[in-house]
Amino acid sequence: MSKVYDYLDERLSISELKKFAGKKTVPLHKYSFWYYWGGISLLCFLIQLVTGILLIIYYKPGPDAYNSVRSLTYDVDFGWLIRSAHSWSATIFLVSVFVHMFSVYFMKAYRKPREFGWWSGMALLILGLLFGFSGYLLPMDQLSFVATKVGLAIPENIPLVGHTIANLMRGGLEVSEITVQRFFAWHAVVLPLLYLPLLMFHLFLVQKHGNAIPPSEEDVPMEKRKSIPFFPNFILKDLAMWLVTLNAIALVASLFPPDLGKVTDPLGPAPAGVHPEWYFMSSFETLKLIGKVIPGMLGEAAGITIFTLGLVLWCLVPFFDTSSPKGRNGRYATYFGIFCLGVLLVTTLLGYVAG
Amino acid sequence: MNYPIWEVKGIGLPWVIGIIAIFHIMISHFAVGGGLYLALAEAKAIKEGRANWFPLLQAHSKFFLVLTGVFGAVSGVGIWFSIGLIQPEATSTLIHNFVFGWAIEWVFFIVELTSAAVYYYTWNRIPAALHLKVGWLYAISSICTLVIINGILTFMLTPGTTWLGVVGSGHESSYFWNAFFNPTYWPSLVLRTLVCISLAGVWALVTYSRLDDDSYGNAKTQLIRWSTKWLAPAFLLMPVTFLWYIMMVPDANKHLLELGMASIGQGSFTQVTRIALLSVMSTSTIAAVAYLFAYKFPKDFSPSHSIAILLLALAATGSTEYAREAIRKPFVIGSHMYSNSVRVRDVAKFNQDGYLTHSMWTPSGPSVSQHELGKAMFRGQCMSCHTENGYRSMKRFLEGRDAKAVGNILSMLRQNKSDSPYHAYMPPLVGKDEEVAALQAFLLSLNQTTSANAVAKR
């Protein structure tokens, strides 16, 4: 065994890696639980990658999309499970990414020198949402067809370029087989090509700067602060958390596999209770609320402008709340975070309650 | 049928029992294993002179007293209320056959709860040896509660041929011990004991995760490592015991699992198989997670880690209990009473005289509409497992089916042939032709518009 190790060590410098990992530590405090959420997101992404590759083997984009998903779900052995695991890991992925983002925000982990970690994380979140949007249409049943039609009506209202963007995504004036082809290309090729290098960059930054401590821990004297070695302590705990997550995904994926609705009928009525996926519910409901105050195209344009501004402010927070431990700006940033979290939760709930 | 029928919209009747029962089992099994845990831990601390363990064991016994004495006792009474409302016929059968068993059970409960309170309140007040004896009294009385209840629970799956041979004769209670030591009694007792031991370890980890390692010397580390070992017997012996249990389950019930395994690839496999597999997976994961979180790094073990283990234990307990309950289908008491409270021996009688004729709490007389009759049939024969538009929704299940299709399903259920796809897990539909027709009309009305509904009601 040691000969194998020596062989690999000479060529891959495993000892140096071990030495580096051994020196690295992770802070230990009452908020340490939130450090696991980045790892959970990563696990969910890996599950999607593997199950996505398995789905591609049977999936046929274009006119045969619906039939291929039907065959995959009902004829192919364990196809239903792979599809269900892909869908549920996507949901849990986005939940964990949101939790990770807010925990990073409230721990002020966007401050110097971690600004690029924050920005790359935001870009990963946006790409994650695009993964969700593009993947939703792929079964091409009536529900996904109508939901995509409604979803693509939103960018259409962007002043000047909206119409062109929507047509480019649709591949024409209407959602059709060509749209499925394009969405598949985005979902399985373009987005992964953008996502993977960005993820590597994000992980590199996490390794370089380590875990940030929350403001409450900054008051604790250095000699009283606790930490654990990254390797093996934190890695093995992360592994245990992965096992817990894997159980949760297996539980929901096997008990609640996603339905396949009726085949798309462009002239048919929208299925009862059609609404966007939960991660778009907040923006959908907010647009509806703004539409009630400012009706028509103007309202939708105002809504999109407010979203864009909100997102820009959210991304630029490292410039506003700099590294000062207890500044006024830090307090304001926290209030802004609580406000955004509140809006997100309230409008999402409102969307489901109001139907 | 002798009792009124309770209706719970949304989650339906099974989940009322299910939710209460899963939490109760998490706590009651902890109470059984935990008694043994406290007595053995205290004995070890005395023998090896580990004085630093005592404050932690005292803290654990306080948590123990509150959890088992309050939540365990309340949820236990909750089970009685819920089974009495949801399955009154089956509950009545259990009371009539096991009145002696229940009496013994309650005596042990009183001893158990009293000794748990005495154990906590006499820490450092009576000699250590006497305190330990109180601990053993608690441990033994709580184990006895399991020994008794296990006989009644397993009876419901496998009443045994002797009891089934005399059922209806009025002499059933004379065969108490035959019914009690039924075919699945012993494997189930071993299985449940293993679960109790592992839950004792899991809950102990919850107590110790809240402690700062520096406060009690090395006690946190020692107790966490020792408590994690309590998961080992279950992890090692569960597979063998589970196989033993399955061997003792009647072929018809095993068929329900096999039916699921055969069609697993197509995803049409039964819910019980899915959940049985989840139970195996979550049980084996707990050991790995406990090793990584607790045994390997006891000093860093925090409440969030213990909550993660506890949630896994809840998933394992919940899925195992669900599978155990579901495998009993189509009966609530094996080969004697169907899950909709119809006794096997009454099927022919109900088909001849009518089901509603024998139901005391259904509307009667010439003014009763077909819709009301159909609803009464639904409430009596379907609602113990289904809801109109919630859990196992009939509205969703029958969506898009016309009168002929619904009629065919009901006809299949009524004939209950052995090659019917529903035979393995659905009770037969009983009643006269007009009652079945009323049920058919009611089921069709679930997917009709409001105006069509009004017509049906008229």
Q: Give tens-digit pLDDT for B402-429.
A: 999 999 999 999 999 988 888 888 999 9
Q: Do residues B344 and B337 lie in contact, with contact meaning Cβ atoms separated by under 8 Å?
A: yes
Residue range A44-48: mean pLDDT, rounded: 97
- Euclidean distance between CA atoms B331 and B343, whole angstroms: 9
Please indicate, yes or no, whether residues A292 and A346 belong to a single structural domain of this protein.
Answer: yes
- Euclidean distance between CA atoms B124 and B178, whole angstroms: 46
DSSP structure string for A280-331: HHHHHHHHHHHHHHS-HHHHHHHHHHHHHHHHHHHHHHHHHS-S-TT-HHHH
| Token pair in block for residue B260 | 């699921």
Please indicate, yes or no, whether residues A279 and A223 belong to a single structural domain of this protein.
Answer: no
Q: Do residue B285 and residue A255 have CB atoms under 8 angstroms apart?
A: no
Domain span holding position A348:
275-355
Roughly how many angstroms between the first and final C-alpha of chain B, as a whole number?
Answer: 27
Please indicate, yes or no, whether residues A193 and A214 belong to a single structural domain of this protein.
Answer: yes
Residue by residue, what is the 3-state secondary structure of chain B?
Answer: CCCCCCCCCCCHHHHHHHHHHHHHHHHHHHHHHHHHHHHHHHHHHHHCCCCCHHHHHHHHHHHHHHHHHHHHHHHHHHHHHHHHHHCHHHHHHHHHHHHHHHHHHHHHHHHHHHHHHHHHHCCCCCCHHHHHHHHHHHHHHHHHHHHHHHHHHHHHHCCCHHHHHHCCCCCHHHHHHHHHCCCCHHHHHHHHHHHHHHHHHHHHHHHHHCCCHHHHCCHHHHHHHHHHHHHHHHHHHHHHHHHHHHHHCCHHHHHHHHHHHHCHHHCCCCHHHHHHHHHHHHHHHHHHHHHHHHHCCHHHCCHHHHHHHHHHHHHHHHHHHHHHHHCCCCEEECCCEECCCCEHHHHHHHHHHCCHHHCCCCCCCCCCCHHHHHHHHHHHHCCCCCECCCCCEHHHHCCCCCHHHHHHHHHHHHHCCCCCCCCCCCCCCCCCHHHHHHHHHHHHHCCCCHHHHHHHHC
Please indicate, yes or no, whether residues A243 and A189 belong to a single structural domain of this protein.
Answer: yes
B337-338/B331-333 β-pairing: antiparallel
| pLDDT for residue B261 | 60
Q: Do residues A294 and A304 lie in contact, with contact meaning Cβ atoms separated by under 8 Å?
A: no
Domain end residue (candidates: A270, A290, A311): A270
**Domain at A149, CATH number:** 1.20.810.10
Closest partner residue to A244 (CB to CB) among B278, B289, B300 is: B289
| pLDDT for residue A264 | 87
- Euclidean distance between CA atoms B398 and B407, whole angstroms: 11
Pairs of residues, one from chain A and one from chain B, whose beta carbons lie less than 8 Å apart: 67
Please indicate, yes or no, whether residues A266 and A280 belong to a single structural domain of this protein.
Answer: no
- CA B191 to chain A, closest CA, distance in angstroms equals 22
Please indicate, yes or no, whether residues A114 and A218 belong to a single structural domain of this protein.
Answer: yes
Single out the residue of B375, B342, B374 nearest to residue B358, CA to CA: B342
Q: What angle do CA A174, A175, A180 make, to 5 degrees?
A: 145
CB < 8 Å to A257, chain B: 267
Mean confidence (pLDDT) of chain A = 89
- Euclidean distance between CA atoms A289 and A351, whole angstroms: 10
Nearest CA in chain B to A26: B300
Q: How confident is the model at residue B268 (pLDDT cuts 50, 70, 90)?
A: low
Domain end residue (candidates: A270, A289, A305): A270
- Euclidean distance between CA atoms B53 and B330, whole angstroms: 50
| Token pair in block for residue B391 | 């859990």
For CA atoms A173, A174, A176, A181, the dihedral sign is positive
| pLDDT for residue B233 | 92
- In B, what residues contact A, Cβ < 8 A? 264-267, 271, 274-275, 277-278, 281-282, 285, 288-289, 292-293, 296-297, 300, 302, 304-305, 308, 311-312, 315, 319
- Euclidean distance between CA atoms B151 and B185, whole angstroms: 6
Please indicate, yes or no, whether residues A284 and A331 belong to a single structural domain of this protein.
Answer: yes
Share of chain A above pLDDT 90, in %: 48
Q: What is the pLDDT of residues A99-147, one digit of tens each?
A: 999 999 999 999 989 999 999 999 999 999 999 999 999 999 988 998 8
Residue range A44-64: mean pLDDT, rounded: 95
Q: Do residue A33 and residue B304 have CB atoms under 8 angstroms apart?
A: yes
Q: Do residue B293 and residue A237 have CB atoms under 8 angstroms apart?
A: yes
Closest partner residue to A236 (CB to CB) among B278, B282, B292 is: B292
Burial bucket for residue A58 (CB in 10 Å: 0-12, 13-18, 19+): middle
Residue length of chain B: 458
- Euclidean distance between CA atoms B349 and A54, whole angstroms: 55
| Token pair in block for residue A326 | 């207890």
Q: How confident is the model at residue B454 (pLDDT cuts 50, 70, 90)?
A: very low
Please indicate, yes or no, whether residues A326 and A292 belong to a single structural domain of this protein.
Answer: yes
- Euclidean distance between CA atoms A156 and A134, whole angstroms: 16
Q: What is the pLDDT of residues A138-164, one digit of tens each?
A: 999 988 998 888 888 777 777 778 888
Residue range B356-375: mean pLDDT, rounded: 87
| pLDDT for residue A84 | 94
Q: What is the pLDDT of residues A75-87, one digit of tens each?
A: 888 888 899 999 9
Q: What is the pLDDT of residues B17-44, one digit of tens each?
A: 989 998 899 899 999 999 999 999 999 9
| pLDDT for residue B458 | 41
Alpha helices in A24-78 (DSSP H): 36-58, 65-74
Q: What is the pLDDT of residues B35-74, one digit of tens each?
A: 999 999 999 999 999 999 999 999 999 988 998 889 998 9
Residue range B361-388: mean pLDDT, rounded: 89
| pLDDT for residue B228 | 96
Long-range CB pairs of A328-336 (<8 Å, 24+ gap) are: A330/A108, A330/A215, A333/A108, A334/A106
Nearest CA in chain B to A242: B289
Residue range A308-326: mean pLDDT, rounded: 85
Q: How confident is the model at residue B214 (pLDDT cuts 50, 70, 90)?
A: low
Nearest CA in chain A to B291: A240
Q: Is the pLDDT of residue A218 over 90?
A: no
Q: What are phi and psi of B123, to 5 degrees?
A: -60, 130
- Euclidean distance between CA atoms A164 and B53, whole angstroms: 72
Q: Do residue A233 and residue B288 have CB atoms under 8 angstroms apart?
A: no
- In A, what residues contact B, Cβ < 8 A? 28, 32-33, 73-75, 77-81, 228, 233, 236-237, 239-241, 243-244, 246-247, 250-251, 254-255, 257
Report the domain count for chain A. Answer: 2
Please indicate, yes or no, whether residues A286 and A266 belong to a single structural domain of this protein.
Answer: no
Helices B88-121 and B12-47: angle between axes, nearest 10 degrees: 30
Q: Do residues B394 and B446 lie in contact, with contact meaning Cβ atoms separated by under 8 Å?
A: yes
| pLDDT for residue B456 | 47
Mutate to test the interface with B, among A81, A244, A245, A262 (most CBs of B within 10 A): A244
Q: Do residue A247 and residue B267 have CB atoms under 8 angstroms apart?
A: no
Q: Do residue A254 and residue B277 have CB atoms under 8 angstroms apart?
A: yes
Q: How confident is the model at residue B263 (pLDDT cuts 50, 70, 90)?
A: low
| Token pair in block for residue B88 | 């009154």
Closest partner residue to A233 (CB to CB) among B267, B285, B297 is: B297
Place of tokens 């494997």: B187
- CA B161 to chain A, closest CA, distance in angstroms equals 35
Q: Is the pLDDT of residue B267 over 70?
A: no
8-state DSSP, A222? G
Tell me the ipTM for this assembly: 0.71
Please indicate, yes or no, whether residues A354 and A259 belong to a single structural domain of this protein.
Answer: no
Domain end residue (candidates: A250, A270, A290): A270
Please indicate, yes or no, whether residues A195 and A298 belong to a single structural domain of this protein.
Answer: no
Q: Is the pLDDT of residue A209 over 50?
A: yes
- Euclidean distance between CA atoms B314 and B308, whole angstroms: 10
- CA A165 to chain B, closest CA, distance in angstroms equals 39
Q: Do residue A243 and residue B288 have CB atoms under 8 angstroms apart?
A: yes
Q: What is the pLDDT of residues B129-180, one digit of tens each?
A: 999 999 999 999 999 999 999 999 999 999 999 999 999 888 888 899 999 9
**Residue B40's Cα: distance from chain center in Å?**
29
Closest partner residue to A74 (CB to CB) among B266, B305, B308 is: B266
Helices B303-326 and A235-255: angle between axes, nearest 10 degrees: 30
Place of tokens 């592994």: A239
Please indicate, yes or no, whether residues A34 and A102 belong to a single structural domain of this protein.
Answer: yes
Q: What is the pLDDT of residues B309-332, one digit of tens each?
A: 998 888 888 888 888 888 888 999
Residue length of chain A: 355
Q: Do residues A25 and A230 lie in contact, with contact meaning Cβ atoms separated by under 8 Å?
A: yes
**Residue B23's Cα: distance from chain center in Å?**
10
| pLDDT for residue B270 | 63
Q: Do residues B60 and B200 lie in contact, with contact meaning Cβ atoms separated by under 8 Å?
A: no
